[in-house]
Amino acid sequence: MKKGNLIIGQSGGPTSVINSSLAGIVETCLQNEDFAHVYGMRFGIEGFLEESFIDFHRVSASVIKRLKGTPGSALGSCRKKLKKEELPDVKEILKKYDIHYFFLIGGNDTMDTIYRVEKYCKEVNYELTCVGIPKTVDNDLYGTDHTPGFPSAARYIAVSVQQAGRLAADMQKVDKYVIFQTIGRDSGWLAAAGALAKTRPEDAPHLIYMPERPLNHDKVLKDVTETIKNIGWCSIVIGEGTLWEDGTPVSAGSARDNFANTEFGAMGGASAAFNLHRLINKETGYRGEFQITESLPMCAIDRASETDLKEAYTCGRTAVEYALQEISGVMISINRLSSEPYRVKYGKFPLAEAAGKAKPLPDNFISSGGNFMTEEFLTYIHPLVGRLDRYGILL
């Protein structure tokens, strides 16, 4: 006998592998033939409220297969925070379409959305099995060793920092520093990933600045000038949400107009690298450049991590398996069994405990000087991202 219908949505910023999770869910559902209808909501919960649905039985197998290698959210995404007064509408739509399985692929906020939908439906006695599939390049989801999407974004950043370092070393007679800004909001996971670029002491990056360790002006200038003195040039990675010791975001800098402090900061603090560049250039007189790739690491499928693609797919598949066992109110989690060799086990984590929380970069991943990563961090991240090719020729 067929179960009720199932619906899937994608939410928040896309990643290179969020469609791989979607493919894992859809392929597993279609193979099992347990559900009469497998719907996709277009543009997340926003599309759901407008009943903008796709029926996956009408999508060709070749398109579903292609999803695995397609970056971005093929269903479209949103950042809507569901209002309390919209919950009855959600339930009515679920009922109208006989949907009893509700999946969202997303991050902290998305887990909160599913959690609230599940809780409401339980209160009004509407039978609904809710499963969250983890996704965020920021890697700050609680309850899982790491989050699908992070390893691929990390790989983009490591490759970029490595290549920029190659160029900076060659151009050290002209420019003395290069600053690469990463996304990641208040979390330093993606800035930390830059450390993978380094295979020798002289390689980029030399300094990693992250939100977890506020910066001191004098220390930053000392770090940079000493590196230039010792190595001839300096590569810096900075997380967009990094702060000065007094709590001011580096992105706010000294350009204290309304825009910089409000709208601009809200758009990702995209000027941390610029302000750091400005400071270093002004105080040392050295020339240098900064790079702000913003969301590019979220969609660079040609630089995706193979491990990430596979794990994202398996998370999707696992979500369906739990749902078929009527396990609800959980987020799929990846639990690491060992790093060398790399082995994981998929499990579940209560949505109630994942929702809204953020997992910080652990202290033992950050060097004592607060400006680089430790061996423990490298052991953690290497199997996720894989080894990079070495581009180390300066004759």
Binding map of its own copies across residues 157-196, x = CB under 8 A, - = no contact: --xx--xx-xx-xxxxxx---x------------------
Q: Which of 55, 98, 109, 138 is catalytic?
A: 138
Least CB distance to its own copies at residue 222 (A) = 22
Instruction: Answer yes or no whether residue 49 interacts with its own copies by CB under 8 A.
Output: no
Quick one: 125 or 258, whose CB is closer to its own copies?
258
Identify whether 223 is a catalytic site residue. no
CB of 80 to its own copies, least distance (A): 8
93 binds its own copies (CB under 8 A): no
**What 3 state SS string does the chain have?**
CCECEEEEEECCCCCCCHHHHHHHHHHHHHHHCCECCEEEECCHHHHHHCCCEEEHHHCCHHHHHHHCCCCCCCCCCCCCCCCHHHHHHHHHHHHHCCEEEEEEEECHHHHHHHHHHHHHHHHCCCCCEEEEEECCCCCCCCCCCCCCCHHHHHHHHHHHHHHHHHHHHHCCCCCCEEEEEECCCCCCHHHHHHHHHCCCCCCCCCEEECCCCCECHHHHHHHHHHHHHHHCCEEEEEECCCEECCCCECCCCCCCCHHHHCHHHHCCCCCHHHHHHHHHHHHHCCCEEEEECCCHHHCCHHHCCHHHHHHHHHHHHHHHHHHHCCCCCEEEEEEEEECCCCEEEEEEEEHHHHCCCCCCCCHHHECCCCCCECHHHHHHHHHHHCCCCCCCCCC
- Window 67-86: residues binding its own copies (CB under 8 A): 67, 70-80
Q: How far is the CB of 345 from its own copies (least distance, A)?
A: 31
Contact between 200 and its own copies per CB under 8 A = no
Q: Of the two residues 270 and 327, which places its CB atom closer to its own copies in the complex?
A: 270
Considering the rule CB under 8 A, would residue 274 count as an interface residue with its own copies? yes
Count interface residues toward its own copies (CB under 8 A): 72
Site for its own copies in 334-393 (CB under 8 A): 389, 391-393
Residue 332 makes contact with its own copies by CB under 8 A: no
Q: Confirm or reject binding of residue 124 to its own copies (CB under 8 A).
A: no
Q: Which residues are catalytic?
A: 138
